[in-house]
Amino acid sequence: MNNTGISNNIIAQTLGSLGNKTSTELDRVAKEFEQMTLSQLLAYSDTDNDNSDSMFGGGAGERAFKPFLYDEYAKGFTQAGGIGISDAVKSEMIKIQEAAKNAFANGGQ
């Protein structure tokens, strides 16, 4: 059995929502992915271990709103140029689109 045909079929099947999106749409999706990734990284980098409701601790309110703060930080980082994640993601999405087009052009072989 030809592994290349199988790989092309898998790529074509997993193309899914990428379809024939324009470069602008791919850029938007890649930036959203970078923003989400940065937000998660910021959440993991939090070293505040004071989860108490002490006088100087943020308490439940701080815990509830921290994810929103990380999202806004990540949005700012991404709008300022990001850290390169979106460029790599966009490049991979373009490769997937091209591979899917080639697979369809070759009749799924």
Residue stretches of the chain with pLDDT short of 70: 1-20, 48-53, 107-109
Q: What are the boundaries of each domain within the chain?
A: 3-105
The CA-based dihedral angle spanning residues 59, 61, 34, 46, taken in that order and rounded to the nearest 10 degrees: -10
pLDDT in tens, 54-78: 777 777 788 889 899 999 999 999 9
Question: What are the tokens at 44?
Answer: 């993991």
CA 29/CA 100 separation, integer angstroms = 18
Write down the pTM of the prediction: 0.69
What φ, ψ does residue 84 adopt, rounded to 5°?
A: 100, -5
pLDDT at 1: 45
